[in-house]
Amino acid sequence: QVQLVESGGGLVQAGGSLRLSCAASGSIFSINSMGWYRQAPGKQRELVAAITSGGSTNYADSVKGRFTISRENAKNTVYLQMNSLKPEDTAVYYCNADRTTVWGSYAYWGQGTQVTVSS
C-alpha cells in the first residue's frame, strides 16, 4: 500500500513557474516508477511526465522543454518543475506511483492539486 500527498499547486500568470511535490509513504520499496498526470475540464486524464527507479524520464510532447520531473530518493519525493506555463496547462495534477511485486502491478494516486494559469 502506498500513500501519495501532492503539494505546490496554485494560481500563476502565463510564463510563470510552479514546482509540484509528491511525497510517497507506505510500501515504497517496491515502487518502480512515479509520475504526474493532469486532467483539464472536458478532457481525459493524460500523462505529463514519469520517472523510473533507474532515473529514466518520459514527457508528454506538450511539455517537453518546459517541465522537468525529478526525484529525491532519501525523502521518497518526486517533483515536477513547471516553467513557461501556459493557460492550456491549467488542470488538476495528480501524482501517480506504480508498484510491481511478484503478485502483480498496482497503481496509486494522490488527491490532486489544482494548477491554474491565467493569461
62-118 confidence digits (pLDDT tens): 999 999 999 987 778 999 999 999 999 999 999 999 988 888 889 999 999 999 999
Q: What was the pLDDT predicted at 75?
A: 74
Of 19 and 26, more confident: 19
Q: Which helix (H) or strand (E) holds 101?
A: strand 91-101
Q: What was the pLDDT predicted at 24?
A: 93
**Strand pairing partners for 92?**
39, 114
Rounded CA separation 57/83 (Å): 17
Q: Up-side HSE of residue 15: CA atoms within 13 Å toward CB?
A: 1
Counting residues of the chain whose pLDDT is more than 90, the rounded percentage is 81
